[in-house]
Structure 1
Amino acid sequence: MIRSFIFILSCLVLISPAKAADYAYYGFEPSIVTNYVAVKKKMGYVRLTVELMIENSANYEVVEHHSPLLRDAIITIIGQQPEAKIKSINGRHEIQKLCEEKVKNLLTKETGKPLIKKLLFTQWLDN
């Protein structure tokens, strides 16, 4: 009984075609460079590379069209972060999540859909 069930299940898996994910990646060029307020009112800066994982490659041009708005939002969020958050790994992860939520919200407001699956920081340099 169990063997026949496993056989039928494996046949169904072989028969039903799996839909391949159709993703595209948009990278902000040039890299984002912005200031943040460091301790003792000293200015620090961070340089980062940001990639957007777009859920459907057909939406690449739409995301590209809105990239100035998205770039500004990312720069604004990073510029408001304290030095401790900028310099810690957990803080960077929190900043990444904030940026991802903001980008999804802006794209939803502009297009009716979030369009991206993930926002990735692929490079992060700070002083």
Structure 2
Amino acid sequence: MTFYDEIGGAETIRTIVATFYAGVAQDELLRPMYPEEDLGPAEERFFGFLCQYWGGPTTYSEQRGHPRLRMRHAPFAVTHEAKEHWLTHFREGLDAAKLTPEQDAEFWAYVVRAADFMVNA
């Protein structure tokens, strides 16, 4: 059983990502980093990435290739302040998913490492 299966699969990841993007949509610092008027495509890409990362379907790589996270985010100044905003919204997503404490801790540890890695300004 993968972590993806353990946490409830696509339904759980959908909850996390939808909650995250609801926060981003209202965030004056982060929203400009998403140039598409409709956040739907970005939400779908993030959903696919997280599903694949945690052991679910490999649709993300099949459609987009290697994640190349830093390269894809390079056009945007990801500051420490932006990272903190991003983490705030992701925390809301994890809270909405109601994972077990152990699952939450594992997911959160990954998210914090990833957020730290993305800071480029």
Whose relative contact order is higher, 1 or 2, with alpha carbons under 8 Å and at least 6 apart? 2
Higher gyration radius (CA):
1
Q: Indicate the structure with greater strand content.
A: 1
Q: State the TM bucket, normalised to the shorter chain.
A: 0.3 to 0.5
* TM-score normalised over the length of structure 1: 0.38
